Structures are given as C-alpha cells and as structure tokens.
Amino acid sequence: MPSYSMGQAARLLGVSSETVRRWADGGRLAVARDGAGRRVVEGAALAAFARERGAGPHAVPEDDVPTSVRNSFVGIVTGVRTDDVAAQVEVQSGPHRLVTLVTREAVEELGLDVGVTVTARVKSTDVHVDPA
C-alpha cells in the first residue's frame, strides 16, 4: 500500500501543505510516521478522505505522457471491484468521480488499488487510466 508525504497529499487534495498539516494536527486526517520520522498519509486513508471531501487536484501532471487523449484527470483510486474477468475502478479527481470498467488483468498489471495515484484519461466514451 502506498503512502504519501504531506506535500504529495496536499497536491492530490488540491490544497496547501499547511492545510494538510492542520487537518492532521486536528485529527481530521490520519497520519503515521515513516522510518525517518516524517509524517505520511497511508494511501487508503487518503482515498477515504478524498472521497469524503469530494476534492482533489485538477491539473494534468507536469511529466504527462504524450497522448491524443485531451481530457486528463489526476486523482486517487477510491474503489476497485473485481470478478473473474472484469473490474470496476473508481477515481476521485477534485470534485469529479470517474468510474471505468477494465479487465481484471489490467488492474493487476497496473497495480491499481485503493489509495494509488492515477491519471484518468477520457476520450469520447473511453477512459484510459495510467499510473501516475
């Protein structure tokens, strides 16, 4: 399970690092300490918090990969449901909730799980999800 620094959490939530620190200090956002003593937010906790807030980043990442897909949403995976063949992936990006159906194999290959940062790309009726 990934964990995020306070700055990374702030970027994903679309707020300042200081805001994330205040939320952590006030008990609104659960944090832990990494091996170096720095405060980190576990991916699942950040995904739950993002879902509750319904807020997050709105910009395309700076190191975006070249693609013809023009609508990109950086977000955090807030839900993954799989069966034998298919999977449903839910992403919270700012106030936008995106849900896509992909193969179970794709979810496994991309390492998609609750709390993972992704870029959802929307083209016409297709949504492409890339690990960030």
60-69's contacts with Cβ under 8 Å and 24+ in sequence apart are 60/119, 61/119, 61/132, 64/119, 65/130, 67/121, 67/128, 68/123, 69/121, 69/122, 69/123, 69/128
| Predicted pLDDT of residue 12 | 87
Q: What is the pLDDT of residues 5-17, one digit of tens each?
A: 999 998 888 888 8
| Predicted pLDDT of residue 107 | 95
**Full-model pTM:** 0.52
Specify which of 15-19, 29-33, 51-55, 59-63 reaches the highest per-range mean pLDDT: 29-33
Q: Considering only residues 41 and 127, tell me which one the structure prediction assigns the higher pLDDT.
A: 41
What domains are defined for the chain? 3-53 (1.10.1660.10), 71-131 (2.40.50.100)
Q: What is the pLDDT of residues 77-101, one digit of tens each?
A: 999 999 999 999 999 988 888 999 9
The mean pLDDT value for 20-48 works out to 92
